[in-house]
Amino acid sequence: MRRHMVTGKLHTVCDEARCPNRSDCFGRGTATFLIMGETCTRA
């Protein structure tokens, strides 16, 4: 999954929030993508 995210320039909520559980989610093949840009503005 990581390779697809890098080559596709995809950003996930998990990465932007620096979630400590992202390896668990990615290991199960799940992720929530940011579709309107690379930075989450809901802070």
**To 10 degrees, the CA torsion angle through 30, 31, 35, 40?**
160
pTM value > 0.85: no
**pLDDT, one tens digit for every residue, the chain (43 residues):** 678 777 877 778 888 888 888 888 778 887 777 777 666 666 5
Q: Which of 12, 35, 37 is nearest to 25 (CA)?
A: 12
d(CA 40, CA 15) in angstroms, rounded, equals: 10
Please count the helices (runs of H) and the strands (runs of E) in the chain: 3, 0
Name the residue ranges covered by the structural domains of the chain: 1-37
